[in-house]
Amino acid sequence: MTELVRVQNANAGNLVMEGATIIFRNFAGKEGKYNREGDRNFCVLLDVQTAQQMADDGWNIKTLKARDSSDPDQPYIQVSVGFKNRPPAVWLVTRKGKTAIDEEALDVLDWVDIASVDLTIRPYKWEVGDKSGIKAYLKTIFVIVDEDILVRKYEDLEELPSSSGRVVEGPIAIESGARMEYDFDAEVVE
């Protein structure tokens, strides 16, 4: 599942996760049953050993109850995406390269098909009264897109503007025996 690597440098304490699976995506910060308006976040699935290690260190680890009683519960951590103090570096990766995603375009990550994610989580130690813990903030993320087979097939074709007159709207009616300006590889059935 997710491999956890502790970074040993000036940013000691950051967590690097490669090949991660993310769930409950809300990069747009939409208000919902479990989210306040403007709170951008997502969750990362963890293996049991990593979850236990992080919980022992003070991270707020949560658990999804298994749907089947024979399956184990699934640990995860919620990661906040904040742009006020230290904006994260966000990248969308395809076979052709990587694209930086800014705050205004971040909601694209809510609907894109994801193959896997590599990310760095920055810890924020908090203390309120007699309670304390570590909140996870996104530092860096590379979202590897699960590209559609047809997108890959036609990726080298030039994209023509809609104003070229080549966009067809609605069904095409072709009379039997009609001579067309374009070649179609089709058979007229009615």
123 within some domain: yes
Domain count, the chain: 1
* Separation of alpha carbons 74 and 51, rounded Å: 10
CA distances from 34 to 25, 42, 104 (A): 12, 12, 22
Tens-digit pLDDT profile for the chain (190 aa)?
A: 555 554 444 345 899 999 999 999 999 999 888 888 889 999 999 999 989 989 998 899 999 998 888 888 999 999 999 999 889 999 999 988 999 999 999 999 999 999 999 999 999 998 899 988 899 999 999 999 999 999 889 988 888 876 655 555 555 555 555 555 555 566 666 6
Residue with the two structure tokens 């306040």: 36
Query: Tokens standing for 81?
Result: 């995406």
167 within some domain: no
Q: Residue 166 is which amino acid?
A: R
82 within some domain: yes
Torsion angle of the four alpha carbons 6, 144, 36, 1, in this order, in degrees rounded to the nearest 10 = -50
* Separation of alpha carbons 77 and 61, rounded Å: 5
* CATH number, domain containing residue 112: 2.40.50
Q: Domain of residue 57: give its range.
A: 3-153
89 within some domain: yes
Q: What pTM value is reported for the model? A: 0.75
Residue with the two structure tokens 């690097």: 16
Closest CA relative to residue 136, chosen from 37, 20, 10: 20
64 within some domain: yes
184 within some domain: no
